[in-house]
Structure 1
């Protein structure tokens, strides 16, 4: 798949900036990219930065990467721009809501997560368009970021956002909590953090590369009557961990639904 010949990136915060860096590393010509952001974003050398939408021909791809709450503030300035593809990373903003505000030949929603910054993220894509070129462009932009997953039913996009979009935040909190628990047992805090980081990284890599389920791997670590089993018993008691994670994802899911309702209105 071929990367776009020219691209506008509207909004260049943490996620937009991370995606841009990966695209440049993958071979996108910096001179073909225009960042539209009234702030002072850090961009790779050669990328043009403008405070407002320029009066010039529309790009092949327009990537919408502002905060969802800012959609109605930026949409009027883009109303007369008709790119071949709008790729939106706005959480909770449905394709129909985008279509009422933007004049695009095709729209694809994307939900990247923070590890895209190191090329190990997950990007979920959904688009009702049957335009093969538009879908290929969206996938070509997602591929340098890590794993790409197409979601057939847009109704599931809020669940995807809660799981993989918000998930890194939950994993980071788990690492912090695991390290703090180790420090509470007497380990130096910095050493406990290093051990927690390496443990999660190694376990994640092992789970990703194994044909066995994570549950099976957990049981393999836990010898009957051993220390791992005692710890797992705490997590499993009355479904404590399962209930906590379900409640965590449900809170994020509900917030996505609320943002979608606001965008429809």
Structure 2
């Protein structure tokens, strides 16, 4: 699979690194256009303009949303002949992408950072994409993690808020869990190590179990025991679930503002 990547920041670099490691693309089949030179995975080619010659199988758009019109004015004609445009721009729906880059099938995706490990989540939105385009996207995205297609733009946006922002919220939770350990007497280094290992093990257990996370929590919490005392705090009316609901609503609202802008 031949790729042109227009913009290759942190997220696009994480995706590229996984594509190269998994063999879905080879370094010789990738051309990157960046405004300034960056250290890229696999020492792939990078330049200030797209290469001459036939179009690639996929153009990946990894620029900032506010750069879309400027970048389209520069590269529109070269991209026109490509069959597929995959964008990770927040707020730029397939209709806006198609207007900026007429010609290729436009696909909007919202990945999250664990794609670099092949453990990411990719919400994908392209209601008008034909089966062949969807198959190409699936083949490209499969090494990155879970791929979920959404035809409803509202559900796509919700999934993007959950999966795209979720890792940062979990990073905060790990920090908060470690801070809780410090508050009951652990030294900071030991608290951080124990908190991280606890979260890793618990996540693996949820993934391997046929029981829901709620059922697993109840199984761990003996009546009148230590875990139940802690869960009672998290389950208060203003506890963990309402907090995360407010958190995700704030993220989703900001995403909607960006889309309108």
TM-score, scaled relative to structure 2: 0.94
Q: Which has the higher contact order (CA 8 A, sep 6+)?
A: 1
Matches within 5 A, 1:154-165: 154-165=153-164
Matches within 5 A, 1:35-50: 35-50=32-47
Conserved 8 A contact 1:38-1:52: no
Matches within 5 A, 1:140-159: 140-159=139-158
Q: Deviations over 1:18-48 (max 9, x none)?
A: 1001111121111110011112222233511
- Are 1:176 and 2:175 matched, yes or no? yes
Conserved 8 A contact 2:109-2:124: yes
Once the two structures are TM-superposed, the CA of residue 239 in structure 1 deviates from its matched residue by 4.2
Secondary structure of 1:238's partner?
coil
Match of 1:11 in 2: 7
5+ long unaligned stretches in structure 2: none
Secondary structure of 2:86's partner?
strand
Q: Deviations over 1:218-239 (max 9, x none)?
A: 1111111111111111111114
Match of 2:242 in 1: 243
Match of 2:56 in 1: 59
Runs ≥4 in structure 1, deviation > 3 angstroms? 53-57
The CA RMSD over aligned residues, in Å, is 1.4
Following the alignment from structure 2 to structure 1, what is the Cα–Cα distance between the partners of residues 133 and 6? Answer: 18
Secondary structure of 2:41's partner?
coil
Match of 1:98 in 2: 97
Match of 1:22 in 2: 18
Following the alignment from structure 1 to structure 2, what is the Cα–Cα distance between the partners of residues 92 and 205? Answer: 33
Once the two structures are TM-superposed, the CA of residue 205 in structure 1 deviates from its matched residue by 1.0
Moved more, 50-59 or 104-113: 50-59
Q: Deviations over 1:115-174 (max 9, x none)?
A: 111111111212123422211111111111111111231221211111011100000000
Q: Deviations over 1:190-223 (max 9, x none)?
A: 1111111111111111111211111111111111
